[in-house]
Structure 1
Amino acid sequence: MRRSASLFLTGVVLACTAALPAAARAAQPDVPAPVPRPVVLVHGRNAGPGVWGSLTERLTAAGTPADRIFAWSYDSSQSTNEVLAPRLAAYVDDVLRRTGADQVDLVAHSLGSLPTRWYVRYGGAPKVRNWISLAGPNHGTGLAWACALWDQGCRDMTPGSYVVSRLNEGDETPGDVRHTTFWSAGDGQILPTSSTALEGARNVRVADMGHNDLLGDAGVIEQVVGTLATP
């Protein structure tokens, strides 16, 4: 009889012990998932926010709320350093104010890489976590000479221009910003195609494709989304 009672008590103790972790977990308040950083998308020359449809769709599918995805529109014929970078700075400040975030992620295509780089290099770095360049003319492109006579944006993209030279003086990837570039040997508009890569950045060569194809390629988009998801 004593043995039966002992076994019964042991069973009760084990049952209670097994239930404790579950009860403790149930008593803990739910911890909300971290809200993704706002993403600011910056198009290239003679383009607009509509080029980001595929990336926006994939970002929302991956959990970024639509109200934390922004597309900055600008006149790509204007000066990178004198006009566009200050306007981008004001835009980023407005995004941070509206979302309550401390930092944004910047994703730029083509010419958009230059004003975003200028902003990061000259004051914006503390407000940016990721800077991503898709097919950016980061060291210039010889093709820009074709329109440089009448278009300031084209002049800024020419190899050795004031903007390109200043951006690449010393440290090409300043601050604590994570710099990532994506480039294709089949680009056709960034000449040479090696212009996009930056010293100190994570430089990703993608499959051979055209300049604008990087915007809609599923593989490129998946890598961009993965980069932005890294804490």
Structure 2
Amino acid sequence: MRRNPVLLLWAVVVMAVAAALVPLGSAPARADPPPHPVIFVHGRNAGPGVWDGMRADFAAAGYPQERLHAWSYDTSRSSNEALAGEFAAYVDGVLARTGAARADVVTHSLGGLPTRWYLAFGGGTGKVAHWVSLGGPNHGTSLAYLCALWDQGCKDMTPGSYVLTHLNADDETPGPTRYATWWSSCDEQIAPVSSTALDGAENHATAGCLKHNDLLTDDTVSQQVLAFLR
């Protein structure tokens, strides 16, 4: 059967017009990029399990489990001579496994010191997008003198230590990394409690009277950290 060329031409015109009139809202939605992988870093004499509650909050907020990581380390070792390099290797491993260009780092207490050294002196600012300190001894804590004689991690936390003197000598928040801290007026481990705040960071006083380890499990702190990372 012979096809009418006029009808064929008309059909092509109709399809072209219909395609041009497709509503903008019906276009396929672009998928949001996956969030940066998050690396949680515990404090002295602790382990990755202290982050279980916050990791659950992050998962409930849409973070895939493969984007949530926790670094385990020997808290009695030197922040600058040993741990910063080990942390650098861990970050590289997370980025390689996830295919991400940068990671976010959330620390508690002593965990802030080796990670800060990595950022300041180990090239970490190019690989870490956001850095968080919960109750960190960023300018030292006098309680660390109680264990400084036999524990290098404690010695690093003493006011005026080699590690803290170098970390705070110039820019406390170097590079393009965004920094935030959370501190509580009821923190019994950080003396003075003002030690946690850093020049150039978003510094937050907790809404309630939280003890040192309560910073790990408080829902308000968790949601505020999530908001900062996003």
Give me the TM-score of the superposition, normalised by structure 2.
0.89
- Cross-structure match for 2:210: 209
CA deviation profile, 1:41-64 (whole Å, cap 9, x unmatched): 000000000000111001011111
Distance in 1 (CA, whole Å) between partners of 2:185 and 2:165 is 23
Where does structure 1 lack aligned partners over 5 or more consecutive residues? 1-15
- Superposed counterparts of 1:68-83, under 5 Å: 68-83=67-82
CA deviation profile, 1:147-187 (whole Å, cap 9, x unmatched): 00000000000000000100001111000110000000100
- Cross-structure match for 1:181: 181
Distance in 2 (CA, whole Å) between partners of 1:204 and 1:172 is 16
Where 1:175 maps in the other structure, the secondary structure is coil
Where 1:97 maps in the other structure, the secondary structure is helix
- Superposed counterparts of 1:117-156, under 5 Å: 117-122=116-121, 123-156=123-156
Distance in 2 (CA, whole Å) between partners of 1:29 and 1:97 is 30
- Cross-structure match for 1:220: 221
Where 2:21 maps in the other structure, the secondary structure is helix
- Cross-structure match for 1:10: none
- Cross-structure match for 2:12: none
Letter in 1 for 2:98: T
- Residue 21 of structure 1 and its aligned partner are, at CA, apart by 4.5
Letter in 2 for 1:86: G
- Cross-structure match for 1:52: 51
- Residue 74 of structure 1 and its aligned partner are, at CA, apart by 0.2
Distance in 2 (CA, whole Å) between partners of 1:29 and 1:53 is 36
Distance in 2 (CA, whole Å) between partners of 1:61 and 1:93 is 26
Where does structure 2 lack aligned partners over 5 or more consecutive residues? 1-16
Distance in 2 (CA, whole Å) between partners of 1:226 and 1:53 is 19
Q: What is the aligned length? A: 211
- Residue 25 of structure 1 and its aligned partner are, at CA, apart by 4.1
- Cross-structure match for 2:193: 193
- Cross-structure match for 2:93: 94
- Cross-structure match for 2:169: 169
Letter in 1 for 2:86: R
- Residue 20 of structure 1 and its aligned partner are, at CA, apart by 2.8
Distance in 1 (CA, whole Å) between partners of 2:218 and 2:31 is 33
Give me the TM-score of the superposition, normalised by structure 1.
0.89
Moved over 3 A (4+): none
RMSD (Å), alpha carbons: 1.4
Where 1:34 maps in the other structure, the secondary structure is coil
- Residue 29 of structure 1 and its aligned partner are, at CA, apart by 3.7
